[in-house]
Structure 1
């Protein structure tokens, strides 16, 4: 079980169970399997003989690995210790046509041709971390694998691989935008580094894979671009490994703050050991583009783009030692607990930072153990603000976002995520007194989808957007009510949202379907009760460049491509009721004497001649613009 603070990979209830009556009753199978606690277990049944079952078992003391049963699980034989990082993989597959060919998922794909006794690596050409596999039951040479690097296929039983690059399944944690024309979107991907790509291109081919470029490795997270110089950006990989990069020179420098003797804002002779979240929050100040913040267990500030750092807060976490916490009724201990805290690098660190756009002295931070702190004097004094959150089920629920309003210095929004304790309810709050009191704002949100992000429109204080585990929601009344903003957006977790300040585009970073852009949200910016009560309304038109687009030809099957936004200016309008459309008419004459019948297409007339076919659906309303010098 995983919590925000740790991971317990096994326990006394873990084992292999069998049912012979469709699930009404179950029996635990034990003969030949490890004694004591077991962790994650993977299973596969040989299709041509269901008596043969393979298992990959997590267990301590060298007892883990690959097991086989030839009598439907009544007894088991330990064949191999092959079981790379079991809590993350534990995938085993047997060839549907040959039980001697067995595959194990892991950092690599491992293959055995002797029934699971010995294994060799078989995916040197493919991105690591494999979680799923399919073997063609009619041709053992054909395999499909899926993992952190996407989907790959082999047609020669793992000797060579081809990655499928035309399926949009990228998982973005965080995104950012720059101010180029057209603007670029940058973001951090799960185990695929950080990348930047254009919101449109200047060719007729649209946006292709090759239009994206890599800026950093590891697991990618926040990317923040200097708003005055798009060639300078800040990125990071897991655990606070922050870097500054110059896109023109290619220079990249690691700028992660190092532990040193430091007190709150000044040296004190006390050694500070910073703890970092896997997804470390980072921002560039709106008041000074040379000033950046990153969050460890402390809020760190650099006034010179990461050359030097100072802590401007004390440790703002609860200070709880996660080794003292229980998971599934027991304390997690390295060397004793299976997969102890695997995947949880540390506990007690910042998850979100916000600087007030109206005052550089007003800052907020949130942590993975449920704390929100605020300061109104640039970090000299900090106040705990999350002691009384109405309706919050547990005080140490992860804070996913704190967002200071740009319209009211005292207004701030906060969101929490409790899914790691099986609490999927939405927790969204608004405060108008610097976080001293909070009001829940969840009306209209689904009660089984945790919230990841909330953003405020830069020009309309009533317009908010929220990303949760199923999509994006919008509010036009400052959070008092919410509506699902879907259209053609698939059902997918939305982990980050950015509103481009110039183009007024809504940019989404999703965990599984890449980046999506809703072009020009001016109608949502200008919608109001007054507009909704009028019979008709035309919204402001966005200033639209006329791009000089190069016509290219390219034949590249098997790669991904999406069209550029449609050319031309758009006019958005609202009608309170459907407008009446004119009935379709036909310019046709009937001649009973057998002469010609005029109209669309003409044709031979006659007594039974019918007029040419007429569309029964009224035409779509259109607007024609004539642009004069």
Structure 2
């Protein structure tokens, strides 16, 4: 369904030599329970995974956590060298907003959830980047004014879905069609759900400020600017600190009439509240200056997310899809009088099913400008009615699942563009079939990466809502296992022996590069499996593999059969949300006896006799993302930890040289953000992947703290989820969450 060369730059010899200083004794530990090295001796919803991983247990994500950490990362010096994009260009990823250029035919703008802003000049076939690489890549909305001015709102308004919701830094404006951008206010809006520009006055702009998902307050509600974003005033306030405006739309038949949707939404460590008394639809009859809440059949006590569609061809005709507070379908309504009164249309099983149990992920209705009875509704499938909501059909095969954005092209009757979790699609048949997918859209959200020394062009990885993808098996990247793509492996001695998983440890093996797959999940022993279940090779023999549920499993025949070699290594199941007691990382040493594991509840274990006995060597930490073992010493290991810290003393990276008897904090000047991976390069060089890019250990400072440098240039400001180190070809391959794979020439 759904290929690049590594860069040539190298890290300087100084950086390689300096890392040796990072590995010498003498660093002082930071954080509770961390000591100086002793030199002598029930499934949760998909959105739970990344949120729980990146939050400290029992704490919400700190306010401005991502933005603060990004500034810390930008302040660090960079080593020489340049990251090179390595695809995929054809898979795509989540698109949350679309806009058309008012003067240039066939020019469409697409905002990717965590991949920046893009422009196509050939009617949605090929896209080019239009957003600064070192600005936040989290996008919420894009709009084009009649004079060509572009307004971009940062921060995704959708509350996760296999990912954490990254907040933005406000509104930006471009007067040269995206070549340059200037800040235009509302920096504390958290996320932006929609932007509306008055067609009669291009400097008059309305913004739906959605607010932070994690913290109360900030810029929330509907804001109006009369001077192209130089100043703003809030024209529609919110009833509580967790209500935000998720949509604002102008009536195409009456520019003075504007509609807005407010929505209560809050993510806490132990629950989601995606509805409440603040949720509702509002109308202004004076261009946005004054507002009143609409009732007449709409929920007034409390609801989930509401999607609103306004008809052009029949003034006063509106449609609304209402989500229930538990995320299920709450009803489809219509109004013939501009929203004063509403009638509920018959419930339809296919429309109900399209919302699944997460109507908060959609909340969009689009009405055909030429036919008020022809309506599309966002859901897992694209839902369509041609009779105003009496009957429905589902577009389940021609376009990717999970719909988020649509725009009709007035120059081409019948043409519209659709944005979903698979990227951008175009239909010239009013959205009733005739779909074509963009062929160049390099903004895939990746969880994992696998590379092989046998072929530098062979890369695979797990992609959010786009399955396990590979660079071989066709002329372009293609999906070879569905679902949310998660752990991927390529046998370093046989590139045709591959492994892939989707959510909750459903894992497969193949001996022909993934063309045929055999599931082995049922051969493993576990009571609980993480959404991203770890599967790892033994460093000596790739026929030996490890699989972590809540117990560790081992295979000696390439994954055909498995045996448990541990008891439950966690604190047991949680309650309704993560952490609920699973192994998150496995690392075997080269001695054939020592194996390390880490868990989602902050525990690290070691066995020195291949599972006969286990010792817990760390507890009470944040989520353990990765463990790397020194290839020359099985008692030396590095542990990376997740969680945004907001200045706390908890560590990001720990080292032990005595099998976990004592630990040294190597976090140093790393950004206060999750460390998602740690790998050891040639000569003991440490590389870490974080939500703010990749860093390389440099030295100790005068204060005894570890010092880190940004690794090279050319990598956008995007989370890096996973790293693969290929010593034979001197390269790193990074999986980014929003910009695909990147490679770097390393020692």
The normalised TM-score by structure 2 is 0.56
Taking the aligned partners of 2:593 and 2:668, their CA distance within structure 1 comes to 32
Q: Is the 8 A contact 2:280 2:299 kept in 1?
A: no
Taking the aligned partners of 1:38 and 1:11, their CA distance within structure 2 comes to 5
Correspondence for 2:683: 460
Correspondence for 2:504: 239
Q: Is the 8 A contact 1:10 1:37 kept in 2?
A: no
Does 2:348 match 1:78?
no
Does 2:608 match 1:376?
yes
Correspondence for 1:409: 634
Question: Does 169-178 or 91-100 show the bigger shift?
Answer: 91-100
Q: Secondary structure at the match of 2:553?
A: strand
Q: Secondary structure at the match of 2:447?
A: strand
Does 2:396 match 1:171?
no
Deviation of 1:502 (Å): 0.3
Q: Is the 8 A contact 2:501 2:508 kept in 1?
A: yes
Correspondence for 2:557: 304
Q: Secondary structure at the match of 1:173?
A: coil
Choose the corresponding residue for 1:363, options 575, 595, 600: 595
Q: Secondary structure at the match of 1:305?
A: coil
Q: Is the 8 A contact 1:17 1:26 kept in 2?
A: no
Correspondence for 2:304: 39
Change (3 A) 1:23 1:380: farther
Change (3 A) 1:60 1:516: closer
Does 2:469 match 1:195?
yes
Deviation of 1:429 (Å): 2.8
Q: Secondary structure at the match of 1:234?
A: strand
Q: Which has the higher contact order (CA 8 A, sep 6+)?
A: 2
1:239-263 Cα deviation digits (max 9, x unpaired): 2122221117955322114477xxx
Deviation of 1:508 (Å): 0.9
Taking the aligned partners of 1:132 and 1:214, their CA distance within structure 2 comes to 23
Q: Is the 8 A contact 2:454 2:493 kept in 1?
A: no
Matches for 1:517-596 after TM superposition, within 5 Å? 517-518=743-744, 520-522=745-747
Deviation of 1:128 (Å): 2.6
Q: Is the 8 A contact 1:398 1:416 kept in 2?
A: yes
Choose the corresponding residue for 1:471, options 674, 686, 693: 693
Choose the corresponding residue for 2:331, options 65, 86, 94: 65
Correspondence for 1:510: 736
Q: Secondary structure at the match of 2:361?
A: coil
Change (3 A) 1:213 1:138: closer
Q: Is the 8 A contact 1:15 1:29 kept in 2?
A: no
Deviation of 1:216 (Å): 2.8
Equivalent residues, number: 469
Q: Secondary structure at the match of 2:419?
A: strand
Deviation of 1:164 (Å): 0.7
The normalised TM-score by structure 1 is 0.66
Q: Is the 8 A contact 1:240 1:276 kept in 2?
A: yes
Q: Is the 8 A contact 1:426 1:451 kept in 2?
A: no
Taking the aligned partners of 1:139 and 1:423, their CA distance within structure 2 comes to 55
Q: Is the 8 A contact 1:366 1:372 kept in 2?
A: yes
Does 2:444 match 1:221?
no
Q: Is the 8 A contact 2:719 2:736 kept in 1?
A: yes
Q: Secondary structure at the match of 1:174?
A: coil
Q: Secondary structure at the match of 1:353?
A: strand
1:500-545 Cα deviation digits (max 9, x unpaired): 1201111111122221112x323xxxxxxxxxxxxxxxxxxxxxxx
Q: Secondary structure at the match of 2:568?
A: coil
1:406-440 Cα deviation digits (max 9, x unpaired): 24433322233336999999833333333344443
Correspondence for 1:442: 667
Change (3 A) 1:309 1:24: farther
Choose the corresponding residue for 2:365, options 77, 82, 92: 92
Change (3 A) 1:210 1:385: same
Does 2:530 match 1:277?
yes
Correspondence for 2:495: 230
Q: Secondary structure at the match of 1:220?
A: coil
Q: Secondary structure at the match of 1:103?
A: strand
> Which of the two has higher C-alpha Rg?
1
Matches for 1:103-118 after TM superposition, within 5 Å? 103-118=376-391
Correspondence for 1:15: 279
Matches for 1:343-358 after TM superposition, within 5 Å? 347-357=580-590
Change (3 A) 1:109 1:410: same
Correspondence for 1:102: 375
Question: Does 145-154 or 133-142 show the bigger shift?
Answer: 133-142
Correspondence for 2:80: none
Does 2:520 match 1:288?
no
Correspondence for 2:136: none
Q: Is the 8 A contact 2:638 2:653 kept in 1?
A: yes
Q: Secondary structure at the match of 1:308?
A: coil
Q: Secondary structure at the match of 2:707?
A: coil
**What are structure 1's unaligned runs of at least 5 residues?**
199-207, 261-272, 326-343, 390-396, 523-629
1:174-222 Cα deviation digits (max 9, x unpaired): 1111232445222222233323326xxxxxxxxx971545543332222
Taking the aligned partners of 1:169 and 1:469, their CA distance within structure 2 comes to 16
Correspondence for 1:334: none
CA RMSD between the two structures: 3.7
Taking the aligned partners of 1:41 and 1:385, their CA distance within structure 2 comes to 49
